[in-house]
Chain A
Amino acid sequence: MAQRIFTLTLAAVLLMGARLVAADDSLGKDLKATIALQGMPCDQLIASKRNGDSDYTATCKDGNRYHIFVNPQGRVIVQKM
């Protein structure tokens, strides 16, 4: 019984982990596409940090860092840091 519970728990944790990784991957793609749409360079996104609602800091492999957020007028702003 205890073994079954352990197996189920492990499976749930792995599934949640996979979902988180997928969500993180899709967010990374979204941020990278947003940066590209604004005409700014980013060869590969290596890190992103959530500052708040619709507010992120993205770090690219080439060393560029961007502040990406939605301003009160509903526009997506990408600022180089």
Chain B
Amino acid sequence: MRALALVGLLIAVSGCSSLKTSSPEAGSAQAAPPAAAPAPATPPPPSPPPAAPPPVAPAPVTPPPVAPAPVTPPPLAPAPVAAAPAVPASAAPPHAAAAPAKSPAAAHPVKQPGTSAAQSPANPPPPASPAAPAPAPAPPAAATASTLNLADLEQRLRETRAIGVFTKLSLKNQVDDLLKAFRALYRDPNKRPSAELRQRYDGLLLKVLSLLQDGDPPLAAAIASSREAIWGILADPEKFAKMDT
């Protein structure tokens, strides 16, 4: 009987204690139970880590596939190399640069499918290499797009606020002087512009560019890209006569 009573008492006490423990926790804060839950949850992670190591081992196994990916980059490198020889062949720097850039870009899309299927770490390097060539081709394209529009350039020069009125007038004087020299030269139809005229032209263009480069960079770039085209007109008596009329 006493034993039964003791057992009953123990059960009652244990039950009360369990109730007490649970109730204080719930009473203090409901966050406590979640805290208790995380605690048990943490133990499981330790067990996964052991499981993780095996995946780590597989990861090293994946590196071999990664190695193949670097193998694919070499093909990319060879492609640019092939483009490089093509450049000298064409002997046209801007166009050649644009063409090779375009071809690598095409090669990259081809790569991306393969790399995407393979590993993400392998992907980063290839995108980096394509990103570098991509910007390079863009400027040449813009340069070619803005070939030569003398009227537009003249209008932009008139309207730009990067050059003051006195400076603009002074520049106009010098341009007029240069055009006068060309007119005088072409009175004789068989004459060709001398190196001195080319030097004057280059000097004048440099003055314009130096005045514009800080205040109106787009216009400076447009003029710089049109440099040879403008000289092409000045140096050709027929084109010059057409422009001068």
A interface residues with partner B (beta carbon < 8 Å): 26-27, 29-31, 33-34, 37-38, 54, 68, 70, 74-76
Contacts and interface: CB of A to CB of B under 8 A. Distances in A.
Contacts of A74: 169, 173
A29 B174 contact: no
Secondary structure dominating the interface of B: helix
Contacts of A38: 170
Contacts of B166: 30-31, 33-34, 54, 68, 70, 76
Interface in B152-171: 163-167, 169-171
Contacts of B171: 37
Q: 10 closest pairs, A vs B, by CB?
A: A30-B164, A76-B170, A34-B166, A33-B167, A37-B170, A30-B166, A76-B169, A75-B173, A34-B170, A34-B167
B87 interface: no
Interface of B: 163-167, 169-171, 173-174, 207, 211
A52 B167 CA distance: 18
B164 A37 contact: no
B164 A26 contact: yes
Given A74-B173, A76-B170, A76-B173, 15 more contacts: A26-B164, A30-B163, A30-B167, A31-B166, A33-B163, A33-B164, A34-B164, A34-B167, A34-B170, A37-B167, A37-B170, A70-B166, A70-B169, A75-B173, A76-B166
B95 to A, nearest CB: 35
A79 to B, nearest CB: 13
Nearest to A56: B166
Contacts of B163: 30, 33
Nearest to B204: A37
B174 A30 contact: no
Nearest to A76: B170
Contacts of A27: 164
A37 B207 contact: yes
Contacts of A29: 164
Contacts of A31: 164, 166
A38 B169 CA distance: 12
B158 to A, nearest CB: 15
B48 to A, nearest CB: 67
Contacts of B207: 37
B201 to A, nearest CB: 15
A70 B211 CA distance: 20
Contacts of B170: 34, 37-38, 76
B157 to A, nearest CB: 14
Contacts of B167: 30, 33-34, 37
Contacts of A75: 169, 173
Most B-side CB within 10 Å, residue of A29, A30, A37 = A37
A37 B174 contact: yes
B96 to A, nearest CB: 37
A33 B211 contact: yes
Contacts of B169: 70, 74-76
B240 to A, nearest CB: 23
